Structure 1
Amino acid sequence: MARVTDSVHGEVRVPGDKSVSHRALIFSAFASGTSRVRGILQSDDVKSTAGVLRTLGWAVPEVSAEMVIDGAGFTSRLPSPVSRLQCNNSGTTARLMAGVAAAQPFASTFVGDPSLSRRPMRRVSAPLEAMGARVEFPDGHDGLPMTIHGAPLRAIDWELPVASAQVKSAILLAGLCGRVPVRVREPAPTRDHTERMLAALGAGVTTRDGWIELQPADRLAPLDLDVPGDPSSAAFFVARALLADEGSLVVRHVLRSPFRDGFLHVVRRMGARIEEVRASTGSGERRDDLVVHAGSGLRAVAVGRDEVTSMIDEVPMLAVLAARAVGTTVVRGAEELRVKESDRIAAVVANLRAVGVEAEELPDGLVVHGTEAPLSGRVLTHADHRIAMAFGILGASRGCTITVDDPSCVAVSYPHFWEDLAHVAR
């Protein structure tokens, strides 16, 4: 009987980058003048940031493909107290907007869904308290709800104990809205969209001797921005092409950054053949088209903390890809995955085992033994969008019969994922 081949073809343009989309909304709301933002990610997480900004008094319209936003400066126009700030499942919303709330002249209570409420928030409350805000955790645990009593803030030099672009951004936003200088030092470099965008809009942001410094700004210039494609979303379609037997797939207008390129570096070490075609450079962000060739023949790799930092959101996809590589893949230095939307280390390993792959948990990572055997089973996403998409990619490849228990959870970051996945199959 003839062997059935798995082919990919055509092109896909993934949604706008989630990190850039959150920040585009926030900085547009703060700008002096009218901002225009195109291609923003129309996902549940980004809508949560828009909703919190509205609740705090900034006139942010409904999230759409082309947005016009009239900025109103750094201070809310609302009288106190402000109602609860609903962040739903968005950790970026909660942590970045915590920095904004710390500088407002009232108290704000951040709430979220059960998944977000379990994620650690004291890492962001500590520097804000050191700046002069008062933070309470009414339920007594390290998570939401979290009440921030805004206050006049003071300057701070803060060394982050854990590398976190969200906490770094919260401190920078507190300094921006509180009009005080701040300095932040990271144990390892993280995505730098906050710094790059603030500098492009006229704020005094510099990096010197490992410290990110922000000087008080009186105003921000309005944005005129085309949001580039999200590299974390692009990783799923890179993987889809690599798991196919033949064909090639073009992933259009993907954001490129040394702080976001870890996945591409690692899969190239696994044997991936990927061409990069420069698409454009706008608002200081490079965009490339990625041409990914099927049939590369993947081999196992070892991935350490230095690489994990620039691909933390893509580790679930890498682990699933490793299930089809020759040899044993080991990922270390990824303990931050345990406090994401789910315990992603535990979830990935349990689901790999459920579909027939040998895998083990490590305290800070995982081990995956590649196999060519047919894979089948039911995947439990724990309402985690990246678990759903990673195993959706595996299920779409030859020799796999995989059911995802909650396919709708992808709306957090990629509402049209399943339609795009069906589109690229030949």
Structure 2
Amino acid sequence: MSSHGAPIPMTSTACGPLTGRAEVPGDKSISHRSLILGALSIGETKISGLLEGQDVLDTAKAMRAFGAEVTDHGGGNWSVHGVGVGGFAEPDQVIDCGNSGTGVRLIMGAMATSPITATFTGDASLNGRPMARVTDPLSLFGCEAVGREGGRLPMTLVGASQPVPVNYVVPVPSAQVKSAVLLAGLNAPGKTIVIEAEATRDHTERMLAGFGAEITTEIADAGRVITLTGQPELTAQTIDVPRDPSSAAFPVCAALIVPGSDVLVPGIGLNPTRAGLYTTLRDMGADLTYENERVEGGEPVADLRARFSPDMVGITVPPERAASMIDEYPMLSVVAAFAKGDTHMPGVRELRVKESDRIDAMATGLRDNGITVKDGEDWWTVTGLGHGNVPGGALCVSHLDHRIAMSFMVLGMATNAPVRLDDGGPIATSFPIFEGLMADLGAQVTRDPA
């Protein structure tokens, strides 16, 4: 069952060269944060290029429920009249975050230090994901959380009436956990300090500074030390959301494995904490170039050109690179199937607790399509067969996970037999134009009778 309706079975068939421009949607991470920080600011935040996938739309609804005025002006243009730090109202209804782990965890952080109560839920996938990794540090501020066994949604949070600042060491690399703590620290007096041993995506830090928060980042023996001074007055901003590098991964990687392809993906955000996939692809020998490199809104941006690359080879991906490409490993595993030799991916335990167990989901589907995959608790290895040698022909399961669904559809674009998918419905959570965009490039992805 899709997260928002009946299953949408799909089939992907080998196609001719993929060519043209792939105008992928706005960055999902920045879209979530734009809405939340706009709601915590004074004045009107204007956003262009907002990703209008279901995950972000659910965050927009949540901000309305907490009292912000959120308006869709069409064409990806939105505005948020904020209520200021500490100004969230208590919502009348349960906050349904759908499939979005990022949305629910960031919103929990944003409300945790206000004296209000809110109940959160989501779809079957989100309700099975662990929330203690966020609620445990939020409890240090004085927030209380009551949920199902194992710290799962539905869950009620009672915000701290007299919050205290926190000094927190993030136990595993997670931008969601770091961001939740920083957002909670906004309404706590004094300085909240977050220490991460391994750098994760830093959109929250960049955007907090842009909205006027006093925030610093220093490199120490323990790692990155982020210090936020609480109770600032955030000022509304104008935000032009760059295009999502995680969404760009699908047309880019499809071009690398489909003979004769040449695809340009313009305006992609290349924040160094997000660009690990593209560094890895180049290490494997991919014909991938950056054009028109520039800085927009404080974020590095470039146009990516990807061409068919039949001579890619397997590599060992450095484990310290995992945080900068954690969402892209499913797609990388597909590229690895068409490379020559082993692609070893260590240090990826976080994949076990995403929208699905992404290691298990991809390993099972790849094996069913004729690829050898070995895996452990925090690693996996894909043995590539080289171009033209991947059998395909299997029915793959999406597990209500948008990235798993799209990865298997890209797989089928270059296999010897079509690849089928049980449910493509989750794709709409992050990349609602995926089917049309890929079709315009020349892909053959079709919806099947249910």
Query: Normalising by structure 1, what TM-score?
Result: 0.95
Superposed, 1:349-388 pairs within 5 Å as: 349-371=363-385, 372-388=389-405
1:148 maps onto 2:157 in alignment: yes
- Are 2:34 and 1:24 aligned? yes
For 1:418 and 1:399, locate their aligned partners in 2 and report how far apart those are by CA, in whole Å: 21
1:98 shift after superposition: 0.8
Indicate the residue corresponding to 1:73 in structure 2.
84
- Structure number with greater CO (CA < 8 Å, separation at least 6) is 2
**Pairing 1:408–2:417 present:** no
**Would the aligned equivalents of 2:24 and 2:247 in 1 still touch at CA under 8 Å?**
yes
Tell me the SS of whatever aligns to 1:337: helix
CA contact (8 A) 2:25 2:244 kept: yes
The equivalent of 1:278 in structure 2 is 292
Equivalent residue, structure 2, for 1:14: 24
Per the TM alignment, residue 289 of structure 1 is displaced from its structure 2 partner at its CA by 0.3
* Partner SS, residue 205 of structure 2: helix
Task: Indicate the SS of the match to 2:152.
Answer: coil
Which residue, 217, 230, 238 being the options, matches 1:224?
A: 238
State the shift of 1:421 in Å.
1.0
In the alignment, is the contact (CA less than 8 A) between 1:244 and 1:398 conserved in 2? Answer: no
- The 3-state SS of whatever aligns with 1:222 is coil
- Within the alignment, does 1:304 sit opposite 2:321 as a pair? no
Question: Of 320, 329, 336, which aligns to 2:350?
Answer: 336
Are the aligned partners of 2:289 and 2:306 in contact in 1 as well (CA < 8 Å)? yes
Show CA shifts across 1:115-173 (max 9, x none): 11111111111111111111222x23221122111122101110011111111111111
Alignment counterpart, residue 184 of structure 2, candidates 174, 182, 192: 174
> What RMSD, in angstroms, separates the aligned Cα atoms of the two structures?
1.7
Residue 303 of structure 1: CA displacement? 1.6
Is the alpha carbon distance of 1:81 and 1:96 closer, same or farther for their aligned partners in structure 2, counting shifts above 3 Å?
Answer: closer
Q: CA deviation at 1:62?
A: 4.1
Q: How many residues align?
A: 421
Deviation for aligned residue 1:328: 1.5
Supply the AA of the counterpart residue of 2:259.
D
**What's the offset of the Cα at 1:112?**
1.2
Runs of 5+ in structure 2 lacking a partner? 1-13, 444-450
Kept in 1, the 8 Å contact 2:315–2:343? The answer is: yes
Runs ≥4 in structure 1, deviation > 6 angstroms?
Answer: none
Q: Which residue of 1 is the match for residue 436 of structure 2?
A: 419
| Closer, same or farther: CA 245–74 of 1 in aligned 2, 3 Å | same
SS of corresponding position for 1:252: strand
Q: CA deviation at 1:280?
A: 3.9
CA distance in 2, matches of 1:5, 1:112: 37
Deviation at 1:302, TM superposition (A): 1.1
Residue 77 of structure 1: how far off its partner (Å): 5.5
Structure 1 alignment gaps of length 5 or more:
none
2:171 to 153, 156, 161: 161
Name the residue aligned to 2:129: 119
The answer on whether the counterparts of 2:267 and 2:301 sit within 8 Å (CA) in structure 1 is: yes
Provide closer, same or farther for how the CA distance between residues 63 and 369 of structure 1 changes in structure 2, counting only shifts above 3 A.
farther
Aligned residue for 1:10, secondary structure, equals: strand
SS at match of 2:242: coil
Give secondary structure in 1 for the equivalent of 2:288. strand
